[in-house]
Amino acid sequence: MALPKKFNQIDKRVESLNDLNFYKISYEYEFTDTYKKALKEGYETSNMNLEKLHQEINGTKEFSALDDEKANEKINEWLQQFVNDGVLSDFEVTVIKSQSFKDKLDDKKLSPLFEGLE
């Protein structure tokens, strides 16, 4: 996970985390014929267990990034790696939702823990 620039300054840590964004994306994908066959037959690929791979590629992903541009790069690189590995033949990101660190804390009702630290 990338950290904001001022994170190492103790007095600016909470303030810098407010620059961090959390993303939840939805995507559509198509497995390659080879991978579909492997799933059907239930054998392991050379580099990853099929069951674990199938859990990893499920149409949604949550991650953090500093901005929308970095988020797009991150998700496209992640999905493209599956294409390069012969697992996916195609993908399309359909929905991207972002949420700031502060909003995430508010949603989880953790904001009071950080009061007075800014």
User: For all residues of the chain together, what is the average pLDDT?
Assistant: 81
Q: pTM higher than 0.85, yes or no?
A: no
Q: What single DSSP character describes residue 109?
A: T
Which tens digits make up the pLDDT trace of 7-32?
A: 555 556 666 677 788 999 999 999 99
Residue count of the chain: 118
pLDDT digit string (tens) for 73-101?
A: 999 999 999 999 888 999 999 999 999 88
Contact between residue 26 and residue 59 where contact means Cβ atoms under 8 Å apart: yes
Alpha carbon distances (Å) from 88 to 9, 14, 56: 42, 39, 12
Q: Which residue has the tokens 């239930």?
A: 42
Q: Which of 40, 41, 72, 35 lies closest to 56, judged by CA?
A: 35
Q: What residues contact residue 53 under an 8 Å CB cut-off, 6+ apart? A: 45, 87
DSSP type of residue 70: H
Residue 114's pLDDT band (boundaries 50, 70, 90)?
low
pLDDT tier, 111 (very low <50, low <70, confident <90, very high otherwise): confident
pLDDT of res. 48: 54
**Domain ranges for the chain:** 20-109
